[in-house]
Structure 1
Amino acid sequence: MSFLNAVINKVEDEVLNEMLQERVDLVQHKIKFMEKVSVACLDTENHLNCDLEGVINDAGGILQADMNQARVIIYVEQGASMLGMMGVVPSLLQKEWPAVEYNRVYLLDDQAAAAATPQEWVALLEDIVEMLYPGYFVFGNEGKSWSSFGV
């Protein structure tokens, strides 16, 4: 059972449970035949952040500690907004990292990453899957809860 399915199973409201499960099923069905994406989730000191590993796995990602192997980098820091990270992240990037070379660096808003309710976890899944598979998913939260960071 996936991380998100376990979260959704705790929802007692049957209508809400079904709606959330449909959103997760849509994502999981679509990524079933896609290649897994290696992802590094970092804080603003370039330390690996494993807090989102479950939802990253459900979004088709594999958490990667080696920046030279990661095809996508997601920066997230508790208490740091996307705007705040925009001033910090450029000095943290190494041009030889594949994610930097292919312009696959993203900033995730700290409020989105602080998911506490099942609805917030499903929204976070949608945000992350949109980052991992651009063009395949469009949920409309780019610029709100996450942002592509052009390098």
Structure 2
Amino acid sequence: MKRYLDKEPSSEAIASDHSNRGRTVYMVDYCDLEGGFESTASRARRRVDLPPNWGEIPVTTQKASYRSPTLLATWDLRPHPCLPRISPLTPNLKEREILKVTTGVSEYEGRIGALAELILQDELHGTPQDVQCLRFQEMMKLRGAK
């Protein structure tokens, strides 16, 4: 021990060293840890118990001066609902209209079906004799064609 210290430390120094372990320099040097965490003003105030026949506690000035923020605000304080994000998989209808995209229409319906409709409307091969063709003819009459 004499190698590091000239004389043996007092028991008070050892106790204060143990009590200050894990504390910051601010807590050790500036805070009054023995006095508690209350301010000196709040410690100086004397606490008084009310008598049992006191009755109802009157309204404080804080309660009397309370003003509701919903009545004071000129804007809407309620949160607005979040709108769902647009999925990247949702098709852009304006873009599809410009590009003339027809999803769900097969090649047969798109090209061959349109050509067949033209042939049947103009009766290029004569009057249709098949039952399905007759149904188509009736459907075309309902639409306002020939």
TM-score by length of 1: 0.18
Larger RCO: Structure 1 or Structure 2 (Cα < 8 Å, ≥ 6 residues apart)? Answer: 1
Structure (1 or 2) with the larger CA radius of gyration: 2
Greater fraction of residues in strand: 1
Q: Could you tell me the TM-score, scaled by structure 2's length?
A: 0.18
